[in-house]
Amino acid sequence: MNQAVDPRRAPGLQPAAIELSGISRAYDEGDHKLHVLNGANLRIEAGEMVALVAPSGTGKSTLLHIAGLLEQPDGGDVHLGGVNCTDLSDDERTAIRRNDIGFVYQFHHLLPEFTAQENIMMPQMIRGLPKKVAADRADELLAYMRLADRGSHRPSELSGGEQQRVAVARAVANAPRILLLDEPTGNLDPNTANYVFDALSALVRASGVATLFATHNLELAGRMDRAITLADGLVKPR
């Protein structure tokens, strides 16, 4: 895992992990445009956990997709680790997503024909790591997520909470600098959601990864460093 963030380094003395400046995005809707983001700004430092709490339809997924280079804004700039990613080629954006960004969604999207260990190995092997190295890293993460005895199980043999913890482990397998989560505990009961969050939080604190966590769970949001919302197409403190 990455080295923990040095708390003696004040924010602003180095590039933010995520910096969105003046982001706008609109979608065609019949004979008019639906403006979802209207000059939104957001800065997240390395090692910071930020909750994104906003009603459905306000642009949460759009903001996550733009921050994760899955979608281009209509206007504004996306800086990741100080690099302006707005005008990069598709290949360059793909390389950054593969090497520097981890994604976790409400539905785990694990590959059903592979074991938990193999699912975590997959992004590492796509990146070009040897099979043995990928397997050792997967086993390390399974142990960290308290799933050491579940590595040989396929997703259908795991509970919902176990599947989501495997998804988190897969997302951080390549030691990303940025972790984006879209309602990852939305389908879990409160106790399981807390268990998954505890494991994720410990992993984030140990690795120093910048985390943007979209959730409707106000209890979880209150346990993060700060919470933001979306209103009138802008990012605002909650």
Domain ranges of the chain: 18-237
**Encoded tokens for 188:** 């879990």
For 31, the 3-state DSSP assignment is coil
How confident is the model at residue 206, as a pLDDT?
Answer: 85
Please give the Cα distance from 52 to 190 (Å, whole number): 18
Q: Would the pLDDT of 37 be above 50?
A: yes
Report the pLDDT value the prediction gives residue 13, as an integer from 0 to 100. Answer: 54
- pLDDT, tens only, 70-129: 999 999 999 999 999 988 999 999 999 988 999 998 777 899 999 999 999 999 999 899
Could you tell me which of 171, 183, 186, 168 has the C-alpha nearest to residue 214? 183
Q: Which residues contact 211 (CB under 8 A, 6 or more apart)?
A: 44, 48, 49, 50, 178, 179, 180, 181, 204, 224
CATH architecture of 18-237: 3-Layer(aba) Sandwich (3.40)
pTM over 0.85: yes
Residue 199 has pLDDT above 80, yes or no: yes
Give the residue with greater pLDDT, 77 vs 15: 77
Instruction: Tell me if 5 sits within 8 A of 225, measured CB to CB.
Output: no
Q: How confident is the model at residue 191 (pLDDT cuts 50, 70, 90)?
A: confident
